Structure 1
Amino acid sequence: MELRKKIDKILGNALIVIMSVMVVNVLWQVFTRFVVGTPSSFTDELARYLMIWLGILGAAYVSGRNMHVAIDVLPLRSSSKTQKKIKLLVYSLIIVFAFLAMVIGGIRLVYITYILEQYSPALQVPLAIVYAAIPLSGLLIIYYKVSDIIKIK
């Protein structure tokens, strides 16, 4: 569980940095638009990409902290043995989804955009870097849920 705490700390700090950069970026955009009179050309695109990373990595962080939205009416009315079985089922389904949709699908997306050499219009950043948040987040979610399954048993 020591590794999980380190990953939580690194991921939490990364999310803080991303959010901080996003706030400064948007403030700069507002300043250049309304004070200077000519909006900055890169800020809109940077804010969009930072929001993607923040949202997707934030989902992994929340999943690791078990703070995600859940409907717990059925488990609360069940015995502790049944609650364990429900948790195992739910965590297993989350692992399958994260692996198939986020890791496999995300890697395919990153690969395709890398091979096609797609770059963002204003920043000229490879879109593969932007989309790399998807498989990374999927791997983090899988790690967290496998760790939760180990804790249950």
Structure 2
Amino acid sequence: MNKSELIFNKCNKILEIILISIFALLVLDVLFQVFSRYILGTSFTWTEEFARFSLIWMTVLGAAYLNAKKEHLSMDFLYDKLSVTNQKKASILIEIFVFLFALIVMVIGGSNLVYTTLHLGQLSGTLRIPLGYVYAIMPFSGLLIMAFSIYHISNINKINN
């Protein structure tokens, strides 16, 4: 196993731990919300906002994780019909498009969103945390996706060899 594979696997393991932790916190938050509403007879407003932010982080980080594992949704009917050489070319093209999407939409667009919300001082309604911190997951996940695309392109010759 070479150095890039070790880094790739370590990064995926860390992502798994983070995603499991976020999911566990989300479950505990929702259970607490249900318990407080139906057993205690009171509702804490922060639980809904925390659940929403947790779901956002889990979804965007999960997309990066699935991209790393190459388990994202894809339609491979035509891809399977291609020769091995054309599959490699198609894989490179797909990874370039994924890289560009992550760069333009997630990193550049997400960074602009984070900067704008932090600069304007926008706070979440209940938790009163800067929304830029919530949105920071977008450029971070975009950078991860870009790194994973580079990794996949560098390993493209391993397809059906």
Give your verdict on TM over 0.5. Answer: yes
Q: Give CA deviations for 1:101-132 in whole Å, capped at 9, x if unaligned.
A: 00000000000000000111111111001000
Could you tell me which residue of structure 2 aligns to residue 28 of structure 1?
32
Query: Which of 51, 56, 70 is the matching residue for 1:52?
Result: 56
Determine whether 1:129 maps to 2:133: yes
Could you tell me which residue of structure 1 aligns to residue 21 of structure 2?
17
Q: Give CA deviations for 1:2-41 in whole Å, capped at 9, x if unaligned.
A: 0001100001100000000000000000001001111112
Query: Which of 65, 69, 73 is the matching residue for 2:69?
Result: 65
Could you tell me which residue of structure 2 aligns to residue 92 of structure 1?
96
For residue 139 of structure 1, report the CA deviation from its aligned partner: 0.4
Report the secondary structure of 1:71's partner residue.
coil
Question: What TM-score do you get using the length of structure 2 for normalisation?
Answer: 0.94
Could you tell me which residue of structure 2 aligns to residue 5 of structure 1?
9
Could you tell me which residue of structure 2 aligns to residue 108 of structure 1?
112
> How far apart are the structure 2 equivalents of 1:44 and 1:30?
11
Q: Give CA deviations for 1:30-58 in whole Å, capped at 9, x if unaligned.
A: 00100111111210000000000000000
> How far apart are the structure 1 equivalents of 2:72 and 2:51?
24
Query: Which of 109, 119, 123 is the matching residue for 1:119?
Result: 123
Aligned residues: 153
Could you tell me which residue of structure 2 aligns to residue 79 of structure 1?
83
For 1:3, give the aligned amino acid: I
For residue 152 of structure 1, report the CA deviation from its aligned partner: 1.0
For 1:58, give the aligned amino acid: G
Structure 2 unaligned residues grouped into runs of 5+: none
Q: Give CA deviations for 1:40-89 in whole Å, capped at 9, x if unaligned.
A: 12100000000000000000000000000111111111110000000000
> How far apart are the structure 1 equivalents of 2:49 and 2:77?
42
Give the RMSD, CA atoms, in angstroms.
0.6
> How far apart are the structure 2 equivalents of 1:21 and 1:75?
39
> How far apart are the structure 2 equivalents of 1:125 and 1:6?
30
